[in-house]
Amino acid sequence: MSGWIAVAGLGPGADSLVTPEVTEALSQATDVVGYIPYVARVAAREGLVLHPSDNRVELDRARLALDLAAAGRRVVIVSSGDPGVFAMASALFEAVEADGAEADIRILPGITAMLAAAARAGAPLGHDFCAINLSDNLKPFALVEHRLRHAARGDFAMAFYNPRSRSRPEGFSRVLQILREECPPDRLLIFARAVTAADESLRIVTLAEAQPDMADMRTVVLVGNSATRRVGRWVYTPRSAGPV
């Protein structure tokens, strides 16, 4: 039996947004590796071994997958959203580079949370935008601030992942402070929590109205650029832009 690894995105939450390609890989898998709540989204079946693990052991998880594939197992590493966006695809290649491992690897894309959130709101990412992971677990907050200020000064729309956790509630307060230093108070923000899940919520506010407790780790925050506007219940960013 020839082993392989597929790194798969399970989408933002709804089963209907898992791609057929990912569903097919899961049907062929002998092992599923991933963070505990993501593995819990995979239905148990005969012949399938589930390997849930904690959120901060990405390299250990990647090495387990490589070892299983080397033994001839068919392994799916699951991430939420898209596996290449702040997720396990990078961790797997980091382990491959560090250990000199070889494997048959496929990366299977998924719908990442910022795109699902943007679709719920309208088209707030309709022009140039960037995504920033606000967690300082893998980088210093000074780098978060540096990138945030430059994105705001460049008038990008922005998508924030991992905005506010119980262990670092002060970080998002600082993010809002930086935005208020760089952007006008009428800048539109979208707080999209648990998009496509049963407890989904969507809140559209101005920067002046935004509060830190509007976000948690299940929230994606979208920030419009200077042209982002509301039309009825929708938010959109025009595709055209004038001279600088």
Structural domains of the chain, count: 2
Q: What pLDDT is attached to residue 31? A: 98
- The reply to whether 43 and 23 lie within a common domain is yes
Q: Which of 57, 88, 111 is the last residue of a domain?
A: 111
- The reply to whether 96 and 119 lie within a common domain is no
Residues lower than pLDDT 70 in the chain: 1, 244
Q: What pLDDT is attached to residue 54? A: 87
Helix, strand or coil for residue 200? Answer: coil
> How far apart, in whole angstroms, are the C-alpha atoms of residue 91 and residue 107?
12
Q: What pLDDT is attached to residue 134? A: 94
Q: What pLDDT is attached to residue 176? A: 97
Asked whether the beta carbons of 130 and 158 are under 8 A apart, the reply is yes
**Residue with structure tokens 């809140």?**
203
Distances (CA, A) of 85 to 111, 163, 207: 10, 15, 26
Q: What pLDDT is attached to residue 244? A: 66
- We report the CATH number of the domain holding residue 58 as 3.40.1010.10
> How far apart, in whole angstroms, are the C-alpha atoms of residue 53 and residue 36?
5
Asked whether the beta carbons of 164 and 172 are under 8 A apart, the reply is yes
Q: Which of 59, 86, 111 is the last residue of a domain?
A: 111
- The reply to whether 81 and 161 lie within a common domain is no
Q: What pLDDT is attached to residue 46? A: 94
What's the predicted TM-score (pTM) here? 0.91
End-to-end CA distance of the chain: 59
